[in-house]
Chain A
């Protein structure tokens, strides 16, 4: 059974940093691209970042480029999101999502999602 378990969310002041983790199990982690997708309270889904199965290529939404860094440790089956210079508008539930393919392509689809972790940026 595929499981994705996010952790690391919490309350942080504007300008602060936070690192999210996503522990994966039930599939060959290194064979699939992974992404972070967020959802602000009462809002829709927003793609944040993606990383290929090998970790060799990363992609970011313009809204987080230069502030967030996605990474993965395939030996630990864990995905990370380092978030720096946090802003109030980064407040959201952050989901870890498994791609159905090893790299983002036109057929990129998220076939499994974690339960999400809430990040609140406020003073």
Chain B
């Protein structure tokens, strides 16, 4: 079965750029999307189709996908961006989520 691998945690200082990776076999041939989940809340879509932002998502959120790796980049990271982030892709009639990355802003 298809797997997506994310680092368990990433730390970033306020105002700096955070990068969260998601790795999977030939992931660049698929569409990747990203969700943000804060404690006690439901996930929120922040990036879809590799690099598109839903309405209401700040421009500091950006995505890319090439080769075996998709990347979520948060520029000018703010304290409110501290959350768990999950990548997701579709493969062979199943939806696959990465294990999640806890982003700490300190």
A97 to chain B, nearest CB (A): 8
| Inter-chain contact B1/A109, CB cutoff 8 Å | no
B78 to chain A, nearest CB (A): 22
Q: Which of A37, A46, A62, A113 contacts B44 (CB 8 A)?
A: A113
Query: Chain B contact residues: over half helix, strand or loop, or mixed?
Result: strand
Residues 105-123 (chain A) with a chain B CB within 8 angstroms = 105-111, 113-116
| Inter-chain contact A104/B1, CB cutoff 8 Å | no
B22 to chain A, nearest CB (A): 12
Residues 64-93 (chain B) with a chain A CB within 8 angstroms = 84, 86, 88-90, 93
- Is B33 an interface residue when CB atoms closer than 8 A count as contact? yes
Whose C-beta in chain A lies nearest to the C-beta of B92?
Answer: A59
| Inter-chain contact B94/A113, CB cutoff 8 Å | no
| Inter-chain contact B100/A111, CB cutoff 8 Å | no
Whose C-beta in chain B lies nearest to the C-beta of A96?
Answer: B42
Contacts of A105 in B (CB 8 A): 90
Residues of A in contact with B, size category: 20 to 34
Given A95-B42, A95-B43, A113-B42, A59 contacting B86 (CB threshold 8 A): no
Contacts of A61 in B (CB 8 A): 94
Residues of B in contact with A, size category: 20 to 34
| Inter-chain contact B97/A45, CB cutoff 8 Å | yes
Interface string of A43-73 (1 = CB under 8 A from B): 0111100100000000101100000000000
B51 to chain A, nearest CB (A): 12
CA distance A104 to B43 in the complex (A): 19
Contacts of B30 in A (CB 8 A): 106
CA distance A18 to B61 in the complex (A): 39
**Which B residues form the contact surface with A (CB < 8 A)?**
1, 30-31, 33, 35, 37, 42-45, 48-49, 54, 84, 86, 88-90, 93-100
12 additional A-B pairs beyond A45-B37, A45-B88, A61-B94, beta carbons within 8 Å, are A44-B99, A44-B100, A45-B43, A45-B100, A46-B97, A47-B94, A107-B49, A109-B33, A109-B48, A109-B49, A110-B88, A116-B42
**Which A residues form the contact surface with B (CB < 8 A)?**
35, 37, 44-47, 50, 59, 61-62, 95, 100, 104-111, 113-116
